[in-house]
Amino acid sequence: MKIKTEDKIVQQVLRKMDERSLIGQKKYGATMMKEIEGREKDLDTFLIDVQEELMDALLYIEAARRCLTDEIEESMINRINVIGQNGNTGEHYEKIF
């Protein structure tokens, strides 16, 4: 299959999907189509897989939000320290913090 899009983002996502597929084939020993054709998985099993992946995604989102919060707090502390090192009392920053 030739990818026709010139969108670099789409191309990158498609490459990642291809890599992920190869990892899955190696891990499970079959393609998804073979799992369907061989009746190894049915609709309910695929839906359970989707549900589990979505639950994992929610956990990743929450973890990422906590990382971002930590980074924002660290950045604000660093900014306050820079203000202090420059001899500025930071009075005009009180409204921000």
Task: Please report which confidence band the pLDDT of residue 89 belongs to, taking 50, 70 and 90 as the band edges.
Answer: low
Q: Where are the domains of the chain?
A: 1-41, 42-97
Look at residue 85 and tell me whether its pLDDT is greater than 80.
no
pLDDT tens across 4-50, in order?
999 999 999 999 999 999 999 999 999 999 999 999 999 999 999 99
User: Distance between terminal CA atoms of the chain?
Assistant: 54
pTM passes above 0.85: no
